[in-house]
Amino acid sequence: EAQVTQNPRYLITVTGKKLTVTCSQNMNHEYMSWYRQDPGLGLRQIYYSMNVEVTDKGDVPEGYKVSRKEKRNFPLILESPSPNQTSLYFCASSFDRADYGYTFGSGTRLTVV
């Protein structure tokens, strides 16, 4: 089944404790992206990747890091999480950045206390 797999689904952590949210896709998509979704603010892009070793900032990149060492994986790293990073996070992949539909993962609900 074609899908984007995110882990974990739920995560509660403390301020400053480094964490990684994994994302993997099995569709051989070149484009991958991370979004956060907050009430009243919609989907906001954090980082995206056009291909292996090619990453770029989205609209809200502060406090986040990403890497794209393999085509299928695009982990999101929070080096020192803060409470304002409490949010619902989605990974998405596509054949390109604009015209093909995105396939989203099921989401990771992160709480930073």
Angle at 108 between CA 112 and CA 73, to 5 degrees: 115
Question: Binding of another protein at residue 102 (CB under 8 A)?
Answer: yes
For residue 106, state whether it binds another protein (rule: CB under 8 A). Answer: yes
Residue 1 touching another protein (CB under 8 A) = no
Q: Does 107 bind another protein (CB under 8 A)?
A: yes
**Identity at 107, one-letter amino acid code:** G
* Tokens linked to 111: 């709480």
- The verdict on 105 binding another protein (CB under 8 A) reads yes
CA separation for the pair 33, 66 (Å, rounded)? 10
Contact 60, 45 (CB under 8 A): yes
- Residue 33: CB atoms within 10 A of its CB come to 25
Nearer to another protein, 11 or 43 (CB): 43
Instruction: Say if residues 47 and 61 touch (Cβ distance below 8 Å).
Output: yes
Nearer to another protein, 38 or 79 (CB): 38
Minimum Å gap between C-beta 64 and another protein is: 18
Residues 37-76 touching another protein, rule: CB under 8 A, are: 40-43
Chain contacts with another protein (rule: CB under 8 A): 4, 40-43, 90, 92, 97-107
